[in-house]
Amino acid sequence: MTEVASICSDLLKIDTTNDGTSDGSGERLAAEHVAGLLADAGIEPVLFEPAPRRTSVVARIPGDSPEALLIHGHLDVVPADPAEWKLHPFSGEIADGCVNGRGAVDMKGTLSMTLTLAREWARQGLRPKRDIVLAFLADEEATGDYGAGYAVTRHRELFEGCTEAISESGGFSVTVPRRAPAEPSRPDHLRVYPVAVGERGTAWMKVTAQGVPGHGSKPPVDNPVAELCRALARLADHRWPVRLTPAVSSLIENLGRALGTTIDLDRLDEEVERLGKAGALFRGVIRNSANPTMLEAGYKVNVIPGTAQAQVDGRFLPGFGEEFLETVDRLLGPKISREFVSFQDAVASPTAGLYDDLCAALLAEDPAGRPVPYVMTGGTDAKSFARLGIRGYGFAPLLLDPGLDYFGMFHGVDERVPVAGLEFGVRVLDQLLTSRTGRRGSHPSVV
């Protein structure tokens, strides 16, 4: 068993479930385990917790330049029902070439890659080309208040010199068929590597309808349950218009070039279906979205309650937050009030500089690959670090088997990550952080 697989397996065995109400006992255990791995390599960890057992770890590895790169990831995972899994979600079992368990992709596999690399550098007496700050954080799967949010407000000194960061949801391979006529000199399929340069904003909202309580057998005066249901139906049925941001436009243009096809910007929904896996890369980022996810009303079948509430997961594209909220208010109507459970603005980073280095590191290990810019549908702790002026990129490099449904692994059943993919990621990160072969600008950043 290689070191990266072993570390990943051990982390997966620690149940760090975060359901939004848990006490974080598993986060403390995982943080202490990570701190021990760092300390064994002579890297001094700093642990902090804003609430009991909601523990995070930060460490700095000195490099050849004081300008620092932040590599951050989260220790917590979403819940998993063992009855739905082939292997227990917290077994960490290695089977069929994969490490299995909740968090294998999201994102203990990535944490294992950075830990493995840091320990290997220590054994060899190597230094990265600039300071590296490693952050292993609590609470990303909820609001981040006990993790990155707390870190940037109360421990910002730990991130001194950090101007850029990398984290989850980017740098993984997506094998797609070429659309241009086949040529004997090149394969029919292409490996695309989406490198995240932005993510949609997050607007988690609690919406409330007030009405007149009464007996369930009588004609209602003002039933808040009915009013809320009508409002949520309007919200759920709304067809949000296409809004192309510069990063998404660049993604679509680069995909078209790589695949040897023209993507019709006026018929993007049809193009998503035509392009399959390639279309999935932009399907969720050409529109804002608002999905009702939770409902709460009433306490007895024969009583009309005075209040009904729901929660809505809202996401908006960079530059379209105001339009998003105006549309939500119009759809909900005047009888529905709303408040934010969590609000974090959209973030975007340039497709130059560090982005070029990320692409170069991928191509050094997979010369046939095609990096493209990418925007995430969801959100990460990058939003919190943006408050410190740190530009974030999604870059957790993995070489994946074409048959593995990577997107389905996130919060899905039977989550797993290939051991060979983790080993590939360690090599790519080594290329990026030490520049042993690749150099900025020595590769085409667009295809």
List the domain boundaries for the chain.
3-176+347-434, 201-243+287-344
Closest CA to 192 of 269, 253, 281: 281
Q: What is the pLDDT of residue 359?
A: 96
Mean pLDDT of 199-222: 94
Predicted confidence (pLDDT) at residue 330 exceeds the cutoff of 60: yes
Helix (H, G, I), strand (E, B) or coil at 279: helix
Question: 3-176+347-434: which CATH number, 2.40.170.20, 3.40.630.10, 3.90.550.10, 3.30.70.1520?
Answer: 3.40.630.10
Determine the angle formed by the axes of helices 419-434 and 3-12, rounding to 10 degrees: 110
Sheet holding 416-418, edge to edge: 94-95, 98-100, 416-418
pLDDT band of 435, cuts 50, 70, 90: low
Beta bridge partners of 133: 60, 70
Predicted confidence (pLDDT) at residue 405 exceeds the cutoff of 90: no
Mean pLDDT of 395-402: 93
Predicted confidence (pLDDT) at residue 60 exceeds the cutoff of 80: yes
Closest CA to 152 of 76, 70, 31, 75: 70
Tokens read off for 442: 């020595």
Q: What is the pLDDT of residue 180?
A: 60
Predicted confidence (pLDDT) at residue 15 exceeds the cutoff of 90: yes
Tokens read off for 257: 């070039």
pLDDT band of 441, cuts 50, 70, 90: very low
Q: Do domains 3-176+347-434 and 201-243+287-344 have the same CATH topology?
A: no
Per the model's pLDDT, the better-predicted residue between 437 and 355 turns out to be 355
Predicted confidence (pLDDT) at residue 437 exceeds the cutoff of 50: no
Q: What is the pLDDT of residue 411?
A: 87
Q: Whole-angstrom Cα distance, residue 22 to residue 142?
A: 10
Determine the angle formed by the axes of helices 3-12 and 109-124, rounding to 10 degrees: 140
Helix (H, G, I), strand (E, B) or coil at 316: strand
Closest CA to 27 of 141, 133, 159: 141
pLDDT band of 325, cuts 50, 70, 90: very high
Residue type, 333: G
pLDDT band of 406, cuts 50, 70, 90: confident
Mean pLDDT of 200-207: 96
Mean pLDDT of 76-81: 96
Predicted confidence (pLDDT) at residue 283 exceeds the cutoff of 90: yes
pTM for this one?
Answer: 0.90
pLDDT band of 439, cuts 50, 70, 90: very low
pLDDT band of 390, cuts 50, 70, 90: very high
Q: Whole-angstrom Cα distance, residue 159 to residue 46?
A: 12
Q: What is the pLDDT of residue 438?
A: 39
Q: Are 179 and 172 in contact (CB under 8 A)?
A: no
Q: What is the pLDDT of residue 442?
A: 37
User: What are the CA-CA distances from residue 443 to residues 258, 259, 359, 440 (Å)?
Assistant: 15, 19, 8, 8
Q: Mind listing the pLDDT tens digit for each residue in 300-311?
A: 999 999 999 999
Q: What is the CATH number of domain 201-243+287-344?
A: 3.30.70.360
In the chain, % helix, strand, coil (3-state, to 5) comes to 35, 25, 40
Q: Mind listing the pLDDT tens digit for each residue in 161-196?
A: 999 999 998 999 999 887 665 555 666 788 999 999
Q: Are 194 and 374 in contact (CB under 8 A)?
A: yes
Helix (H, G, I), strand (E, B) or coil at 5: helix
> What's the chain's average pLDDT?
92
Q: Mind listing the pLDDT tens digit for each residue in 223-259?
A: 999 999 999 999 999 999 999 999 999 999 999 988 8
